Amino acid sequence: MSAPVERAFIESLPFALTGAQQRVMFAVLNDLRKPIPMSRLVQGDVGSGKTVIAAAALVAAIENGRQAVMMAPTEILAEQHFRTLKALFGAASPDGPVASARVAYLAGREHGRWKMDDRRPDPSSIVHPPSSALSGAIRIALLTGALKAKEKREMYASIEAGEIDVICGTHALIQGGVRFHDLGVAVVDEQHRFGVMQRAALREKGAAAAHTPHMLVMTATPIPRTLALTLYGDLDISVVDELPPGRQAIKTTWVGPDEREDAERFVRSEVEKGRQAFVICPLVEESETLDVKSATAEFERLRRQVYPDLRLELLHGRMSSKQKDEVMRRFRDGEADILVSTAVIEVGIDIPNASVMMIEGADRFGLAQLHQFRGRVGRGADKSYCLLLCDEPSDEARARLELMEKTTDGFELAEADMQQRGPGQFFGTKQSGLPGLKVAKLTDVRLIELTRDEAGRMLDEDSGLTRPEHRALNLVVRSLLDRIVDEEH
């Protein structure tokens, strides 16, 4: 992105960037100026403002006459990015860097078609930046599996013809029918929800059209530096380690068995103020061996005995993707007061009206996961709360709950989580490609950095690992790659 466009884009924003956002945005834009395709991971805590950094990368691609994509793991998150980018791109005046966003969208499902919409944002929300080299409107589209066959064909044709600049979407972006005119930047959100091969497939889409695109992957799960270097050794890493000013801290409280009724009354009081609440349970259904609450049983108890007059929804992993998206959509649109869910609740979902997160069996979750649950609230103007319900915690669980009460720093919690539980279950499921270490340990930052540098030097000198001294390593790498491919398919 040229300096005038970069300055104009930043000045068009309705908020000031934090120092961390500026630092990471500079690193990303500097990468985009290089002839070598960018491969960068941006990690940041909940609410740290990673999306605007991605938006700057998208604008840079468009300024250079190329296309950009932003891929998310679920339809509702893809739609959320679509709305956010529309707002960011439409916040500038016609002579600014991002004129009014010209939007490709589903024109109401009742019309069964999509069209171009030239409506501009309300003038009162327009910020007037200096004029820039980027002229015309940004054309942005949403591509998900929900589109009908005819709608897909029309959108595919527009993407291939270069008539759409930015495409937000789900896995639908890497389907066979999608061909880009000239893909310049690919952004993958919630990176750990996608496999290695899916990320590669998106990059290959651009390479097939013209040039290998720049790749920016993002995660809202704070990762200790040692673990990030191990999991994402192929990526440069940037950390957005600062929250925007004015963001309210979430009040976190450990609730014992004698205080359960008080907690339930508190949830009702928040709903009566017009707000919404989450209730998280460790299991989908009751277990004969585990004495913990299940989402289905708790949903029925709350619906019949505690909140018979309120609107409750149930969400769990055994539901189809369509069912889960519909439940989340109803909750997002205010058609439900309380969402009872398992750990399937999506990272990154933005429900500004939700002010209470109540977690049953909080001792069953690690610190990183508890922090992600907590991050589903505190996104609006109202004071928000996280209630950790636990009857008889072990000494280790008690330490986790007390730490959750004391700090909202995701990176501090992530470090403690890795110390307590190890890296294998950091994202909730065992990470492929991360074998048990025989000598090194993941807390040894210096050794891991040296190892990463040595691996980079080795690949620079012998990229195919064909030298005799590298033959054994070649066999190990091929075996690991074969295993990853098998798991992806």
243-298 pLDDT per residue, tens:
887 677 899 999 998 999 999 999 999 999 999 999 999 887 665 555 567 899 99
pLDDT digits (tens, 9 = 90+) for 214-240: 999 998 777 776 667 666 777 888 889
Q: How far, rounded to the nearest angstrom, does the alpha carbon of residue 195 sit from its chain's CA centroid?
A: 14
pTM summary value: 0.75
* Percent above pLDDT 70 for the chain: 77
Ordered domains of the chain (ranges, CATH): 3-240 (3.40.50.300), 251-421 (3.40.50.300), 445-488 (no CATH)
What's residue 347's pLDDT? 64
Tokens 């609730």 sit at which residue?
255
3-state secondary structure of 251: strand
- Cα–Cα distances (Å) from 98 to 50, 55, 87, 156, in that order, read 19, 11, 11, 24
Tokens 């500026």 sit at which residue?
22
Burial of 384 (0-12, 13-18, 19+ CB in 10 A): buried
Q: Is the pLDDT of residue 64 over 70?
A: yes
Q: Which of 175-179, 408-412, 430-434, 454-458 has the lowest mean pLDDT?
A: 430-434
Residue 21: CB partners within 8 Å, gap ≥ 6?
48, 49, 52, 53, 240, 242
- Cα–Cα distances (Å) from 53 to 47, 88, 109, 359, in that order, read 13, 11, 31, 32
First to last CA, the chain: 38
CA distance 170 to 166: 13
Task: Please state the length of the chain.
Answer: 489
pLDDT digits (tens, 9 = 90+) for 310-342: 999 999 988 887 888 889 889 999 999 999 999
CA atoms within 13 A on the CB side of 357: 26
CA distance 20 to 25: 8
